[in-house]
Amino acid sequence: ADRAYTQKSLELSTRWAKRCREAHRKENQQLFGIVQGGTFEDLREESAKQIIDLDFPGYAIGGLSVGEEKSQMLDLAAHTAPLLPNDLPRYLMGVGTPNDLLQCAQMGIDLFDCVMPTRNARNGSLFTSEGKINIKNSKYKTEDLPLDPQCACNTCRNYSRAYLRHLFMADEILAMRLNSLHNIAFFQTWMSRLRRAIREDRPIDWSFPEDNGEETHGD
């Protein structure tokens, strides 16, 4: 969207946020404000100012990870995160890959959400400590190993790669369940390692092996 349209939209979002703030009654829920402003740094600043004025208990960065270039998402997240209060949760909506999570956490983001673990799982694309695995690949046909020997999830403790491949190729719904359970476990372990490093004030000196030679057909 162009600048004028984005400006109008962010002002509309602020008016909605104000109405939500006033209507919100439930004491067992936290209502966060969401910063908009598209791909324009100055509009992100303007939106952040307007939303922070409404005094929410936490703030989200919205409108990113919706098809723009990865580098632009990272630049805008890095620009927007420090505009938000230091002592309140910051939530980056729709992000991301294991390495995005490491990078954005270091910008000061606390919360994330993404369909990637389950959507990839349903397509047979599995995250492991050695990188991504495409369970469709014929090399897994006879592999008796767990998906990720380092993973303690139910799928890895009970099923082999060969069996998971068989389920996937046969279009068995159990493939989607077992794959999803594993990918979610992988992301949970990934985040708990990250939280531990932050708590212990250690550098985040690891990353996810993006290029492990596995063909994943642009999942």
Residues forming contacts to Zn ion in the complex (CB under 5 A) are 151, 153, 155-156, 182, 185
How far is residue 45's CA from residue 61's CA, in Å, rounded to a whole number?
A: 11
Tokens, residue 160: 């082999």
Whose Cβ is closer to Zn ion: residue 31's or residue 176's?
Answer: 176
Q: How far is the CB of 153 from Zn ion (least distance, A)?
A: 3
Question: By C-beta, is 83 or 153 nearer to Zn ion?
Answer: 153
Element (H, E) at 42: helix 41-53
| Residue (50 or 128) nearer to Zn ion, CB | 128
Least distance to Zn ion, CB of residue 156, Å: 3
**Over the range 2-19, which residues count as b (16 or more CB within 10 Å of their CB) and which as e?**
eeeebbebbeebbeebee
Q: Smaller CB distance to Zn ion: residue 43 or 121?
A: 121
Can you read off the two tokens belonging to residue 43? 């509009």
Work out how close the CB of 128 gets to Zn ion at its nearest, in angstroms, rounded to a whole number. Answer: 8
Minimum CB–partner distance for residue 136 and Zn ion (Å): 18
**3 state SS for 110-125:** CEEECCHHHHHHHCCE
